Chains A and B, each alone.
Chain A
Amino acid sequence: MDNIIELNQVIRSYTQGERTFTALNGIELEIKQGEYIAIVGKSGSGKSTMLNLITGIDHPTSGVVTVIGTDIHQLNESQLAQWRGKNIGIVFQFFQLIPTLTIIENILLAMEFVKTIPRNERLQRAKNLLEMVSILDHANKFPAGLSGGEQQRAAIARALANDPDILVADEPTGNLDSATADSVKAIFADLVAKGKTVIVVTHANVGEDEFDRVIRLQDGEIISSSAKSSGQKGQS
């Protein structure tokens, strides 16, 4: 099966005054449809930077990022926004729900921007998503009225609003207690089972068995990319 994500010779460096700092250096990476990937590494190793390049939020200094067959950094800003809304769901570490919209409205807003879901199906789909992450009861509450774990699940539901093929999450469980974190992880595993590609950044000591593959970053370079010892999934 084809790679859903490919990074070729990707370099991302920041120039601050005189100094140039290379956050990612010569990254080569291939991710296949339906893989469940963890990106791990110490703070400052470049995890978030890599994720931002994959979602098109950040641009590489050099190299090519191809996602679902599109060289995404060839798109202009609005094309990229629409493309991202359609194909990638993003779960932010600090949830980033719109505070003046209710939970269900947050999901409907994501659908409104992209418009792939027919208007008459949106409400039902939003409810199904909330049901899936077990917070349908809170559909009409504002984000401030939810606990951190509930907000995180709402953010996941919103990321899935337009049925994207890829879900990325930057330290999604970093702020959660272990029980809540486990329920979030369960949702991800469930999504992978349904054929979605899920990429999670974490610097916690991960139970590596959960993932199909663990990519280790150090000082902007991939130092290892270890596949699960048994029963690799989604690979030919």
Chain B
Amino acid sequence: MPIILRKSFRDMRAKLGSTLTAILALTIGLWGIGTLLVSMLIMNNDLSENFSQTNPPHIAIQSSDFDKLNLDELRSNPDIMAAGFRDKITLRIEVKPDVWLPVWLYSVADFEHLTVAKIYQQNERFPPPEGTIFIERDGLLISNFTTGALARLQSGGEVFETEISGFAFDPGQAPSSQDQLIFAYTDQANYTRLSGNPAKQRLIIRFAGVKTIEEVRAKYDQLAVEFSQAGISIDSFTIPKFDEHPHQFQLNTMLYLIATIGLLAFAMAMVLISQLMSSIFTQQIRQIGTMKAMGATRAHIFQIYVSYILGIALVSIAIGLPLAVLSGKAFSAFVAGIINFDILTTQMPAWIYIMIIAFGLLLPIIFSLPALLKGIKISVADALGDYGINTDQSKVSGNHTRVSGSTTLSLSIRNVSRRKSRMIVTVATMALGVAIFLTGFNVRESLRVFLDNSAQSLKYDVQILMKEQLPPEVAIAHFDSIEGVSNIEARVRGPVQVNSDDITLSSAGISVIAAPFDSIMIERDLLQGTWLSSSVELEFVTNQGAAPAFKPLIIGNSYPITVGGNEVSAKLVGVVREFDSPKIYLDLEKFNALANPDGLVNNLLVSLSDRSYDSVIQAKIQIEQAIESTGMDVIVVMSQAERAKVIFDHLNIILMVILFLSLLVLSVSAMGMGSAMGINVMERTREIGVLRAIGATPKVVIRLFVIEGFIISALSVTVGLLLALPMSSLAAQFFGELILGENTPLDFAFSQSGFSITLVVTLLFGYLASSVPANRATNITVQEAIAYE
């Protein structure tokens, strides 16, 4: 081995503590950034890959005239990539005894030759034998379904049975477990038997060569003309978000999170490295001077220390890179399980390895450069001390003549401020770590408060959505004799059309809820304006999901809306925040006058006198029994508790990622602070020897450093806390808009548990990182300490 490399290698061994800390920091940094790169690559690619492999439809068109359509001719249209019938109806299915969930039942014309909205077989029996159904596999997580079992479906007030012949994977759907919604697929004849509706009434199309939702809309408009020429009248059409998985927002949020926090964690690892390197160089200054006196040029010195850094880098890469690939894959698999998609990427592209290796090699050098250059540039005379080659090691600057207990504090303070630039870096790094950690916890708290509030704002316990419309007295009469029911409110839920540029929202994407304006069933979380009033004018309130349909959104403006075939002008009075589909709210009486002359209702909110979980579940079972015995045609019966769980499940995965990343950042920065303090003590070993030689007891010395540690910790927490406040409200705003939609910030919330963890971790690290090395430094003899290099 060349002598220069040998020196680097021996230095690594000689300063094993610093070397290992540097390796640890770099390994964690590389591991973190590598995990992020790998998982971002996999998730970003695979969710959309899963989704786009299904050939997702750009539009679904509903018509009862499709017997006049020549499907083969339509498919040969160059504008159309693929088309097929896929009828869809919402029914209810019994997932566990007496527990019913909505099911979207699809008819599939030819399971084996799907060209659009493909679904994949999960077991041997494919396609399903006639008269049986397949269930989307994520439904297994929320049901007792087994292959060969009989499923019970409620349809038109009756219960039908049909065999479950297997499971399918449909990457185009939201995960059943999160949406509390089952997806089922069957042949057209069985579809008609179960739904009571004829098949071939819903056509799904994927256009060729469209790149935006506007182009989809334009293609549809052309097609609509052709259809009407062929005598096909269109009942309705739906344009989903353009080529985007329904739960893409969860992935986006996570990718943002891990990218920003991950980069910050990496930056902190780099600060740590640069501190370690600067401490190592400080200790080597005398040697650098000697070597220069022996004839070493700057290039020689550079070579020696760069190979030292590269040695550290290589070890870190060797550990960090394989770990990163493993954990990146594991994290992606975890997320894939939750969002219900398959991991397709098996081989990482070479560039990702190259990138991690390049990071690992270059960044530590770049970050050590300031310290390295300082070491290289120092003159021999300076390096060997003010007295040139006659270096006298006993000339230690010692202006501490008297060390008594009472002066320890002032001495500690003086010491903290003495190494100013390092202290600033240490405090800044730790404060940033604290700030990010607190921000993570605060955003999590904001989300939690939002969930709590949404749960508390609902003053009803069970909601019933019917397919049929009934007079309110009739509907209420089915349930008001159930034990414990204290109040039932009847409302109407139906579609509304708005004139909007927002193609998804305008294509039958918004519901209207018509409820008494003075309803006490829901406490409103108003973002802007007010709730509905008794005014004679037609007023409406939108939730933030539907808000983009009204542009520009100005409280007090009137917008045209179409309900029950009547276009009217309605005045926008407020915007509410809720984690729900796009909706607008109207007063029930005004709605009835406008579009519902018979005053029929389809939506009941039931409140109970005993709101405990058990009582709600009991009441729900009785409601289900009442539905079965009266033959009501119902779509959804959902308790508030279940609804809260649905919302929570949508956000929980994000909360977990926030938590994990915040902890990672805090531990990296605590490590940074710890090692900076360790270095600080180590470098002052000789000073400790002098202090002891002039009469300081080990206890006094240790106290000196522990107080120093606490000062730094306390400073870091304070600065971190101050930083965290603006960061948290920005982050709450950002994530609110990402999760809930535009103009929907989450409210700032302060996480007490986050703050407590911060305090404990920071102070504990501050204590350990100062007391452990101080103990070590006082355990060696005074003589050894004074001679310490």
Q: In the complex, which of the residues A57, A78, A110 has the most CB atoms of chain B within 10 Å of its own CB atom?
A: A57
* B393 on the A face (CB < 8 A): yes
Chain A, range 6-49, C-beta contacts under 8 Å to B: 47-49
Which residues of the other chain, B, contact A84 by a CB distance below 8 angstroms? Answer: 293, 295
* A82 on the B face (CB < 8 A): yes
Among the 9-residue stretches B4-12, B240-248, B344-352, B436-444, the one with 4 or more Cβ atoms under 8 Å from chain A is: B4-12
Q: Known: A99-B14, A100-B10. Is A109-B294 also a contact (CB below 8 A)?
A: yes
Report Cα–Cα, A52/B6, bound state, in Å. Answer: 30
* B381 on the A face (CB < 8 A): yes
* B296 on the A face (CB < 8 A): yes
* A139 on the B face (CB < 8 A): no
* A210 on the B face (CB < 8 A): no
Which residues of the other chain, A, contact B6 by a CB distance below 8 angstroms? Answer: 101, 105
Is the pair A110, B388 in contact by a Cβ cutoff of 8 Å? Answer: no
* A114 on the B face (CB < 8 A): yes
Closest to A47 in B: B390
User: Which of A49, A158, A162 is B388 in contact with, Cβ under 8 Å?
Assistant: A49
Which residues of the other chain, B, contact A197 by a CB distance below 8 angstroms? Answer: none
Report Cα–Cα, A108/B3, bound state, in Å. Answer: 7
* B571 on the A face (CB < 8 A): no
User: Which of A51, A82, A92, A162 is B297 in contact with, Cβ under 8 Å?
Assistant: A82
Which residues of the other chain, A, contact B391 by a CB distance below 8 angstroms? Answer: 92-94, 96
Taking the nearest CB of chain B, how far is it from the CB of A148, in angstroms? 12
* A173 on the B face (CB < 8 A): no
Q: Known: A81-B295, A86-B295, A98-B287. Is A57-B380 also a contact (CB below 8 A)?
A: yes
Is the pair B290, A96 in contact by a Cβ cutoff of 8 Å? Answer: yes
* B593 on the A face (CB < 8 A): no
Report Cα–Cα, A112/B296, bound state, in Å. Answer: 9
Is the pair B388, A48 in contact by a Cβ cutoff of 8 Å? Answer: yes
Chain B, range 385-402, C-beta contacts under 8 Å to A: 387-393
Chain A, range 78-124, C-beta contacts under 8 Å to B: 78, 81-82, 84-86, 90, 92-94, 96, 98-101, 105, 108-110, 112-114
Which residues of the other chain, A, contact B390 by a CB distance below 8 angstroms? Answer: 47-48, 51, 92-93, 170-171, 201
User: Which of A93, A114, A201 is B295 in contact with, Cβ under 8 Å?
Assistant: A114
User: Which of B14, B292, B299 is A100 in contact with, Cβ under 8 Å?
Assistant: B14
Is the pair A96, B297 in contact by a Cβ cutoff of 8 Å? Answer: no
* B219 on the A face (CB < 8 A): no
Taking the nearest CB of chain A, how far is it from the CB of B612, in angstroms? 72
Is the pair A105, B3 in contact by a Cβ cutoff of 8 Å? Answer: yes
Is the pair B294, A52 in contact by a Cβ cutoff of 8 Å? Answer: no
* A208 on the B face (CB < 8 A): no
Report Cα–Cα, A78/B381, bound state, in Å. Answer: 15
User: Which of A98, A105, A161, A170 is B389 in contact with, Cβ under 8 Å?
Assistant: A170
Main secondary structure of the interface of A (DSSP, over half): helix
Which residues of the other chain, A, contact B13 by a CB distance below 8 angstroms? Answer: 100
* B75 on the A face (CB < 8 A): no
Taking the nearest CB of chain B, how far is it from the CB of A83, in angstroms? 8
* B300 on the A face (CB < 8 A): yes
Is the pair B286, A96 in contact by a Cβ cutoff of 8 Å? Answer: yes
User: Which of B11, B293, B393 is A55 in contact with, Cβ under 8 Å?
Assistant: B293
Is the pair A98, B290 in contact by a Cβ cutoff of 8 Å? Answer: yes
* B694 on the A face (CB < 8 A): no
Which residues of the other chain, A, contact B392 by a CB distance below 8 angstroms? Answer: 93-94
Which residues of the other chain, A, contact B11 by a CB distance below 8 angstroms? Answer: 100
* B291 on the A face (CB < 8 A): yes
Size category of the B interface is 35 or more
Chain B, range 587-614, C-beta contacts under 8 Å to A: none
Q: Known: A85-B296, A101-B10, A113-B294. Is A90-B389 also a contact (CB below 8 A)?
A: yes
Chain A, range 45-71, C-beta contacts under 8 Å to B: 47-49, 51-52, 55, 57-58
Chain B, range 557-598, C-beta contacts under 8 Å to A: none
Per-residue A-contact encoding for B274-317, CB less than 8 Å = 1, 0 else: 00000000000011011111111111100000000000000000
* A77 on the B face (CB < 8 A): yes
Taking the nearest CB of chain A, how far is it from the CB of B258, in angstroms? 41
Taking the nearest CB of chain A, how far is it from the CB of B591, in angstroms? 86
Size category of the A interface is 35 or more
* B789 on the A face (CB < 8 A): yes
Which residues of the other chain, B, contact A112 by a CB distance below 8 angstroms? Answer: 2-4
Q: Known: A81-B292, A110-B294. Is A92-B3 also a contact (CB below 8 A)?
A: no
Is the pair A109, B297 in contact by a Cβ cutoff of 8 Å? Answer: no
Q: Known: A57-B380, A78-B298, A85-B295. Is A51-B389 also a contact (CB below 8 A)?
A: yes
Report Cα–Cα, A47/B379, bound state, in Å. Answer: 19
Closest to B295 in A: A85
Q: Known: A51-B389, A52-B389, A57-B381. Is A100-B296 also a contact (CB below 8 A)?
A: no
Closest to A14 in B: B386
Which residues of the other chain, A, contact B289 by a CB distance below 8 angstroms? Answer: 96
Taking the nearest CB of chain B, how far is it from the CB of A91, in angstroms? 9
Report Cα–Cα, A96/B390, bound state, in Å. Answer: 10
Is the pair B297, A101 in contact by a Cβ cutoff of 8 Å? Answer: no
Taking the nearest CB of chain B, how far is it from the CB of A38, in angstroms? 15
Per-residue B-contact encoding for A143-162, CB less than 8 Å = 1, 0 else: 00000000000000010011
Closest to B8 in A: A100
Chain A, range 182-226, C-beta contacts under 8 Å to B: 201
Is the pair B297, A113 in contact by a Cβ cutoff of 8 Å? Answer: yes
Which residues of the other chain, B, contact A58 by a CB distance below 8 angstroms? Answer: 381, 388
Closest to B391 in A: A94
Is the pair A113, B293 in contact by a Cβ cutoff of 8 Å? Answer: no
Is the pair A110, B295 in contact by a Cβ cutoff of 8 Å? Answer: yes
Which residues of the other chain, A, contact B388 by a CB distance below 8 angstroms? Answer: 48-49, 51-52, 57-58, 170
Which residues of the other chain, B, contact A52 by a CB distance below 8 angstroms? Answer: 381, 388-389
Is the pair A90, B293 in contact by a Cβ cutoff of 8 Å? Answer: yes
Taking the nearest CB of chain B, how far is it from the CB of A157, in angstroms? 12
User: Which of B291, B295, B380 is A98 in contact with, Cβ under 8 Å?
Assistant: B291
Is the pair B295, A57 in contact by a Cβ cutoff of 8 Å? Answer: no
Which residues of the other chain, B, contact A77 by a CB distance below 8 angstroms? Answer: 297-298, 379
Closest to A48 in B: B390
Is the pair B290, A92 in contact by a Cβ cutoff of 8 Å? Answer: yes
Is the pair B298, A98 in contact by a Cβ cutoff of 8 Å? Answer: no
Q: Known: A90-B389, A96-B391. Is A57-B293 also a contact (CB below 8 A)?
A: yes
Q: Known: A55-B293, A81-B297, A110-B295. Is A92-B389 also a contact (CB below 8 A)?
A: yes
Closest to B9 in A: A100
Taking the nearest CB of chain A, how far is it from the CB of B201, in angstroms? 83
Report Cα–Cα, A77/B296, bound state, in Å. Answer: 10
Report Cα–Cα, A77/B286, bound state, in Å. Answer: 17
Report Cα–Cα, A162/B293, bound state, in Å. Answer: 13
Report Cα–Cα, A48/B381, bound state, in Å. Answer: 11
Report Cα–Cα, A93/B7, bound state, in Å. Answer: 23
Which residues of the other chain, A, contact B14 by a CB distance below 8 angstroms? Answer: 99-100
Is the pair B389, A113 in contact by a Cβ cutoff of 8 Å? Answer: no
Which residues of the other chain, B, contact A94 by a CB distance below 8 angstroms? Answer: 391-393
Taking the nearest CB of chain B, how far is it from the CB of A13, in angstroms? 14
Q: Which 10 A-B pairs have the closest CB atoms?
A: A85-B295, A100-B10, A78-B297, A48-B390, A52-B388, A96-B290, A113-B295, A170-B390, A57-B380, A114-B295
22 pairs of residues in contact across A and B, judged by CB atoms under 8 Å? A58-B388, A77-B298, A77-B379, A78-B299, A81-B292, A84-B293, A85-B294, A90-B294, A92-B391, A96-B289, A96-B293, A99-B287, A100-B7, A101-B3, A101-B7, A105-B3, A105-B6, A109-B4, A109-B291, A109-B294, A113-B300, A201-B390
Q: Which A residues have a C-beta under 8 Å from some C-beta of B? A: 47-49, 51-52, 55, 57-58, 77-78, 81-82, 84-86, 90, 92-94, 96, 98-101, 105, 108-110, 112-114, 158, 161-162, 170-171, 201
User: Could you list 16 further interchain pairs (A-B, Cβ under 8 angstroms) beyond the known A93-B391, A94-B392, A109-B3?
Assistant: A49-B388, A52-B389, A78-B298, A81-B297, A86-B295, A90-B293, A92-B389, A92-B390, A96-B286, A100-B10, A101-B3, A110-B295, A112-B2, A112-B3, A170-B389, A201-B390
